[in-house]
Amino acid sequence: MSRTSLTRFLIEEQQAGRIGPELRQLVTIVSRACKRISIAVSKGALGGVLGDAGTGNIQGEAQKKLDVLSNDILLEANAWGGHLAACASEEMEHSTPVPDRYPSGDFLLLFDPLDGSSNIDVNVSVGTIFSVLRCPPGVDKPGDEHFLQPGSTQVAAGYCIYGPSTMLVLTLGHGTHAFTLEREEGSFLLTQPDMRIPEETKEFAINMSNQRHWEAPMQAYVGDLLAGKEGPRGKDFNMRWIASMVADVHRILTRGGIFIYPWDRKDPSKAGKLRLMYEANPMGMLVEQAGGLASTGRTPILGIQPDGLHQRVPVFLGSRQEVTEAVKYHLAFDEAKD
C-alpha cells in the first residue's frame, strides 16, 4: 500500500500550486515541534513534566510545566527557519518577532502550546493548536497589531492531539486532513484525508456545571436537547465533555457533534472562556473546511475583526445543522428583545 507522509503531502500541495516553499517549511517545523512535545507528554511522571511550573500567564492562569516546556519548544523550533516574521502564544503577553540574527519570513504564527492543561496530570488527551497568518506587506518587525486579522484570512490552521495515538490535523484552506504519528519511524502518515463532519448529530459537548450562569437562549437550547424524544427536537441527545478542546473537537471532526463554550455570568466582563486567535479561529477553520460551522452563537467566528491577541469569544462549532439550530435560539431571543 502506498503511504502518504506529511512530507509528501506538503510537496504535492506545493507542486499543485496551493502552497509555497515557506509555508511548507513552516508546517514541517511546527509538526516537528509537536513530535517533541508528544515525546515529553508521553513520558509523564517519568519525564518529570507533570505538575505546576509555579508561574502564571498573562491571563491569570497558573502555568503547568508542560505549558512552559511546549511554548519553549515551539518558539525555539520556529526561530531560525527563515519562514516566520513573528510568533504569538497563549503563554506570552505580547508577540515576539524572530530574533535579529535569523532571517525573517512572510508568516505570523499563533499557538496554544498545550491545550487542556487541566488534563495533563490525569493522563487524559491534550494538544497543541496553531494558526498561520500572512505578515502584512512592507512590515519588517511585526507587533501585536499586525496579528489582528480575521480568521477568514488564515492561510493554515491545525492541531496536534496527544492521545492514545498522536495525530496532526491540518488545513491549508483545501479541506481538513488527519495524519497519525508512526512512532517508530517518527513520521506523520495521512490516515484521514478530507474529513467531513456529519451535518446532523445527536451529541453535544458543554460544561454543564455552568448552566445556571448562562443567558436565556442557551438555557432554552440546552433545555430542548435534554428534553430528548419527548421535547421539540424529537430525538435523544448524548453528552461528552473532555475539557480539552482539541479532544472534543477531534471527536466532532471524526463523528459529528456540537461543541459549545458560551458566554456566562461567572465573569461578565469576559466575552467567553476560549481565545479567538489561537483556539476559536484555527478550530473554526478546521471545522468549516470539513463542512461544519463555527459561530459565536450569533455571528460567524471567522468574520470577527480581532481587537486583542488574547481576546475571548463564545464558541459554537461542529455539525452544520446543529450549530444553525443553536444560533436560531440566540437570534430569536435578540429579536424578541428589540
Work out what residue 165 binds among ligand AHG, Mn ion, none; the CB cut-off runs from 5 to 8 Å by kind.
Answer: none
DSSP H or E run through 179 = strand 176-182
Q: Using the minimum distance from each CB to ligand AHG, give the nearer residue, 9 or 162.
A: 162
Q: Does 112 bind Mn ion (CB under 5 A)?
A: yes
Q: How far apart are CA 78 and CA 87, in angstroms?
A: 8
Q: How far apart are CA 169 and CA 172, in angstroms?
A: 10
Say whether 112 counts as a known binding-site residue: yes
Q: How far apart are CA 128 and CA 136, in angstroms?
A: 25
What minimum distance in Å lies between the beta carbon of 61 and ligand AHG? 6
Q: How far apart are CA 189 and CA 35, in angstroms?
A: 13
Q: Using the minimum distance from each CB to ligand AHG, give the nearer residue, 115 or 203.
A: 115
What minimum distance in Å lies between the beta carbon of 232 and ligand AHG? 27
What minimum distance in Å lies between the beta carbon of 273 and ligand AHG? 6
Q: Which three cell numbers stand for residue 161?
A: 492531539
Q: Does 248 bind Mn ion (CB under 5 A)?
A: no
Work out what residue 243 binds among Mn ion, ligand AHG, none; the CB cut-off runs from 5 to 8 Å by kind.
Answer: ligand AHG
Task: Please state the three-class secondary structure of 56-96 as a single string.
Answer: ECCCCCEEEHHHHHHHHHHHHHHHCCCCEEEEEECCCCCCE
Cα→Cα distances 138→57, 94, 96, 105, 135, Å:
32, 21, 18, 12, 9
Q: Using the minimum distance from each CB to ligand AHG, give the nearer residue, 133 or 247.
A: 247
Residues within window 58-97 making contact with Mn ion, judged by CB under 5 A? 90
Work out what residue 244 binds among ligand AHG, Mn ion, none; the CB cut-off runs from 5 to 8 Å by kind.
Answer: ligand AHG
| Of the residues 6, 40, 41, 115, which one makes contact with Mn ion according to CB under 5 A | 115
Tell me which residues touch ligand AHG (CB under 6 A).
61, 90, 112, 115-118, 207, 243-245, 273
For 175, phi then psi, to 5°, come to 85, 170
Say whether 44 counts as a known binding-site residue: no
Q: Using the minimum distance from each CB to Mn ion, give the nearer residue, 135 or 309.
A: 309
Q: With CB under 5 A, what is the number of residues at the site for Mn ion?
A: 4
Q: How far apart are CA 114 and CA 37, in angstroms?
A: 9
For 170, phi then psi, to 5°, come to -135, 140
Q: Does 13 bind Mn ion (CB under 5 A)?
A: no
**Residue written as grid cell 465533555:** 241
- Where residue 88 falls (left for φ over 0; alpha for ψ -120 to 50; beta otherwise) is beta
Per CB under 5 A, the segment of 79-87, 109-117, 190-198, 305-313 that binds Mn ion is: 109-117
Q: How far apart are CA 83 and CA 105, in angstroms?
A: 4
* Interface with Mn ion (CB under 5 A): 90, 112, 114-115
Binding site members for substrate: 115-118, 207, 273
Binding site members for Mg(2+): 90, 112, 114-115, 279
